[in-house]
Every structure is written in structure tokens, then in C-alpha cells.
């Protein structure tokens, strides 16, 4: 069964450094999402992406964050200057098309630790 993959599984970085989290959505999916989950807290929406542009973003997704689909398979989340409070699990998700955006398939997540 096709699945969303994410790399790395765990990223440790120093405060102020840039990080790029990578995702490979399911191959024929057109909508892509990033969510985060701070330890012990709820899953929070960050951004959705369709047709090479951001569809929606939350108030968490400020100027420090950016997303990109650099090629036909990868979908990346960049945090320009990490802060301690960016430490969380980051989940990528994808869905097939506009009619199916409610069925979002999540990846296994990247655990980001900012020291």
C-alpha cells in the first residue's frame, strides 16, 4: 500500500539554525499538508499546499516557515531560524484530490529537537 514517507526520523539542531524537513507524499496525490505536534499536545495544522502554492496557513506558520515542492516527488518544510519552541513532531500528509481532501494520509513524522 502506498504511504507517505518522511526524512529524517529525528533531527537535532541548535537554536538559530535552519532545518529542512523532507516528505515524499503518495505519488498521485495533489494536496499536501504539514502539521506539528508538541509532546503531549494536540496535532496542529500548519499549512496546506496545492498546485505549487500555499492554499491555507495557520497563525503558527509565520515568516520563519516556508514550504516547497522542489521536484515532482518531494515536499519540504523549512524553518529558517529555529527556536526552542519549534521542538515537536512534524507530520506531512497528502490527499488525492479536492473531492478527497478529507482523507489525509499522514507520514510517520520527523521529531525535531532544538537545543
Query: Binders of another protein: how many residues, by CB under 8 A?
Result: 25
| Binding-site string for another protein from residue 62 to residue 81, where x marks contact by CB under 8 A and - marks none | --------------------
Among positions 21, 26, 33, 87, the unique one binding another protein when judged by CB under 8 A = 33
* DSSP character string of 29-70: --EEEEEEE-TTS-EEEEEEEETTEEEEE-TT--TTEEEE--
Alpha carbon of 78 to those of 2, 12, 50, 99, 112: distances in Å?
25, 14, 17, 28, 12
- Interatomic CA distance for residues 93 and 106, integer angstroms: 4
97 binding another protein? (CB under 8 A)? no
Stretch that binds another protein, among 13-21, 50-58, 62-70, 71-79 (CB under 8 A): 50-58
For residue 43, state whether it binds another protein (rule: CB under 8 A). Answer: yes
**Nearest CB to another protein, comparing residues 58 and 66:** 58
- The side-by-side arrangement of strands in the sheet containing 75-79 is 5-7, 19-24, 75-79, 65-68
Judge whether 49 and 75 are in contact, CB under 8 Å.
yes
Q: According to CB under 8 A, which one of 41, 80, 83, 94 is a site residue for another protein? A: 41
- Which residues of this chain interact with another protein, rule CB under 8 A? 4, 31, 33, 41-45, 48, 55-56, 58, 89, 91, 93, 101-109, 111
Amino acid at each position: 500500500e502506498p504511504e507517505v514517507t518522511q526524512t529524517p526520523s529525528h533531527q537535532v539542531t541548535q537554536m538559530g539554525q535552519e532545518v529542512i524537513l523532507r516528505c515524499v507524499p503518495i505519488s498521485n496525490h495533489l494536496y499536501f499538508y504539514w502539521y506539528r505536534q508538541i509532546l503531549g499536545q494536540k496535532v496542529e495544522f500548519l499549512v496546506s499546499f496545492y498546485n505549487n502554492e500555499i492554499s491555507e496557513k495557520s497563525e503558527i506558520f509565520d515568516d520563519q516557515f516556508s514550504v516547497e515542492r522542489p521536484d515532482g516527488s518531494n515536499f519540504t518544510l523549512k524553518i529558517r531560524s529555529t527556536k526552542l519552541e519549534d521542538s515537536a513532531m512534524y507530520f506531512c500528509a497528502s490527499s488525492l484530490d479536492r473531492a478527497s481532501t478529507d482523507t489525509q494520509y499522514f507520514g510517520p513524522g520527523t521529531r525535531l529537537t532544538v537545543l
